[in-house]
Structure formats: structure tokens, C-alpha cells
Amino acid sequence: MSTAAGMKGEGTVGEILSKCGFRCDICPAYTENIESDEDRAAVSRGWKRLFGFEVPPDRVECAGCNNEGQHADTGCPVRPCAIEKGVENCAYCTEFECGALRTRTGFLKDYLKNGQDLIKGDYERYIRPYESRKRLIRLRKGQEDAD
């Protein structure tokens, strides 16, 4: 994963969405994107610098919501809720934009509002994977158009 170049692009066949709409396939913590301990350490430093939360490098790995295994956010309220409701992701939930989902879609807005400086590569690596709200709305719109 040393660069974002190896990760898939928006709208590709390989797009993998989490329950809350994060893009697993381009997430720097996704198991398939981690090649070394240095990758884990770089993600840990990046998350701390940009978002203020500390995840020890040995915890920086995520199998993705749709898989069993290690998950980077063990306290996520969205994954168990979506599994319990039997929905692929929150776009298909009758309680779309509930409080649990807002915990995952609101943090980027808060981050961007605070105006932290992005260095080269930050957007692709640390912002784009987590722009979930617009993805989920796009999916909901497609669902409504199909009805």
C-alpha cells in the first residue's frame, strides 16, 4: 500500500463498501492494502495527525465490515446494527441517517470544517475512503429510481 496508486479508483468494479459507506477497497487500513509494518505505522501517524485518534500500529488492519476478522474500529455501532437488520449497508435501511450512522458520516465534515492542512496524498489516503454520506445517498437515489 505504500502509495495510493495501488488502490482502486472510484466507481470501479472492485469497489467494496462498508456498512456505513466507507470504501474498504481504498481504505489504508484494509487488509488487502497493507503490505508492511511501516504501512501500519504510517496510517497510525496519519490518523493521529488528521483526526486526533490514536490507533496503535498493530491494530491498524481491518478485514472490512462484510468479513469476519480484525476490525480497526471495534466499537463501531453501525456494523452490528446493519447485520442485525439484514441490510447490505445503511443506504438500504429504513432508518437511514440514524444516530449510529451520523457517528461515521459526521467526522469528516467536522474535520474539514476545522481546516487542518492536508499534505500531498492525504486526500486520497485519508479523506476519500471515508466520504460515505454522498455514496450512500447515491445508492438510495438509485434504489428509488429503480422503484
**Nearest CA among 113, 107, 146 for reference residue 130:** 107
Domain ranges of the chain: 15-146
Burial string for 29-41 (b: 16+ CB within 10 Å, else e) reads: bbebbbeeeebbe
Indicate the pTM of the whole model: 0.82
C-alpha cell at 132: 460515505
Residue pLDDT, tens place only, 104-121: 887 776 766 566 677 888
Q: What is the pLDDT of residues 53-86, one digit of tens each?
A: 889 999 999 999 999 999 988 899 999 999 999 9
CA pair distance 5, 108, nearest whole angstrom: 22
Please report, rounded to a whole number, the percentage of residues in the chain having pLDDT higher than 90: 62
Separation CA 68–CA 79 (nearest Å) = 11
